Structure 1
């Protein structure tokens, strides 16, 4: 019965996702990036719209599963979703042995190759860079170093990593666990210590799981948005679901690498429009560090906004709010046109 309902729901979502507009695009294929075949999806109803390149989070968590939730975005933007090495269909194609070098620097170089591929494929000079969660580490680096390739940077679930110095979110987690009487989880977090640069991949993953499962809004979002989107994804059969989760486990090795990054040392000067849209109740990547970083940023245009009643995965829990921010704040800057409502 459950599988029958899933099949009917997937068919309904696949129908919802059809793009029939004469100037639209709906294609997905493997492209040789960084020496391996990587999956790239391009969807939109009008190729004259700005082209968004998403840098997904996780690590290893492809955004392709959210396509039904973000269908309305495709009326105003052409959305490029790339499954990084270690993620989604890219992981499924090559398996663990076929992912090559798993390093932040490699993801950065891959992203530049993907950028050049998309620019050539669609005949556009610049892409609108939209990064979420773990992807924001790579996203900031791309935005700092290549304003000639990107029309603007939009970060959501934005990580602000301080080279291990900022322990505020760690201390907030300790306080929350102590208040809730979560003694087992509290002991685990205390044992890890506040220095994230010293965490193993397992500890990094365990910390994220504790944050997600002990915060009611985040846990609800994980169940109703993330897991539900994965279960009903028209792009993933049952084998694809298993591979998706295996890819996330495989990609955990990237977590500790990111903890050594120091965003302020890498630079707060951006030569392109800069936007941060953060969930107002996000406990995994809290809004205040992102707000403070935004205040220090110099950019031709910059803005910061909160997505209401949102934890982590803010843009996917409230895709309507995120789209409104994109249309009212970002698209006019990118296109020079008036805000779209």
Structure 2
């Protein structure tokens, strides 16, 4: 999701003054929507010492006996925390854990860029393990459902391979897959969309990049992501009506947080070139845990055809692949009801059967 969110940021700048009153009303309504008052519920947000720095973690749900869902957000450098009102229904069936990674969101806002320490895929994986251990201890569960979004699924796949003892299932959405640069169909599809739309400037920019992302700089990856997102109507619409609109009216976020989101995306852009040469098939398609991928049927950035192909090659105790109709990138948040239906029909029965709570 690198650079995609930045494409929509300008939509919030010009009309800010006139929208502040309306924004405040929406924030108050969302704060009421987000209230949890069930006796066995949980609503905690705060900073936890992870990887030697203070990192922001939210734990929310209406029933602590529900399965725990740990999210690995995308970006890199984005956040899922502002989607709370859109995904409120999820918390009736899962305890949802949201974590702002180093270099992102409130973790970045806490100590600034200079206080983030090492920023690498390996370090984020280590942080994710620490967060998982914290959540297991805090909630008294043996395993959690690992749910990874977009760039976060790069980390999620590696965690699922290496530490299946921590997780009751893996769920990838906007699943980011790499095959060592062999499949360039998404690149060619982008060129065709731009040509058909008459977007000559963007077409020239993409052609100038070449077809091998392993040679691109972080800035070039960001350019490619922006053009890809804005070339597909569902994804472009989700940028404005789902991503930026959710951040604008989140009761947990102030105006400063909008700026921090952009800073996090820019700071974390350095992570992307490291992943361009990855090969998920070579790294291994055997997973010792239930494995699910739910993908937007029109996702231009993480194409469903590649995700379907990977799942077909996966060996796991249980596996499933499903499309989310009328969705590009950000599929789970564009259609949170459909994503929840998939989680309840396919994932929850498996994890509740395999993993009773340890409390």
Q: Same fold (TM over 0.5)?
A: yes
**Aligned position for 1:124:** 141
- Number of residue-to-residue matches in the alignment: 337
Correspondent of 1:65 among 82, 87, 97: 82
The answer to whether the 8 Å contact 2:145/2:167 transfers is yes
Alignment of 1:121-270 (within 5 A): 121-270=138-287
**Aligned position for 1:300:** 317
SS in 1 for 2:170: strand
**Aligned position for 2:100:** 83
Relative contact order, CA 8 A, sep 6+: which one is greater?
A: 2
**Aligned position for 1:40:** 57
Question: TM-score scaled to structure 1, two decimals?
Answer: 0.97
Alignment of 1:266-305 (within 5 A): 266-305=283-322
**Cα distance in structure 2, aligned partners of 1:320 and 1:217:** 17
Deviation (angstroms), 1:260: 1.9
**Cα distance in structure 1, aligned partners of 2:235 and 2:122:** 30
Is 1:321 aligned to 2:338, yes or no? yes
**Cα distance in structure 2, aligned partners of 1:165 and 1:286:** 14
5+ residue gaps, structure 2: 1-17, 355-359
**Cα distance in structure 1, aligned partners of 2:246 and 2:173:** 19
Deviation (angstroms), 1:227: 0.7
SS in 1 for 2:192: helix
Question: TM-score scaled to structure 2, two decimals?
Answer: 0.93
SS in 2 for 1:79: strand
The answer to whether the 8 Å contact 1:92/1:244 transfers is no
The answer to whether the 8 Å contact 2:232/2:328 transfers is no
Is 1:10 aligned to 2:27, yes or no? yes
Is 1:23 aligned to 2:7, yes or no? no
Residues 268-318 of structure 1 deviation map (CA, whole Å, 9 limit, x = unaligned): 000100000000111111100000000000000000000010110000000
Residues 176-210 of structure 1 deviation map (CA, whole Å, 9 limit, x = unaligned): 11121111111111111111111101000000000
Deviates most, 256-265 or 223-232: 256-265
Deviation (angstroms), 1:41: 0.4
**Cα distance in structure 2, aligned partners of 1:85 and 1:260:** 23
Deviation (angstroms), 1:217: 1.4
Correspondent of 1:56 among 73, 82, 93: 73
Deviation (angstroms), 1:160: 1.1
Deviation (angstroms), 1:164: 1.9
The answer to whether the 8 Å contact 2:190/2:231 transfers is no
**Cα distance in structure 1, aligned partners of 2:43 and 2:288:** 32
Quote the RMSD (CA, aligned, Å).
0.9
**4+ runs deviating over 2 angstroms:** none
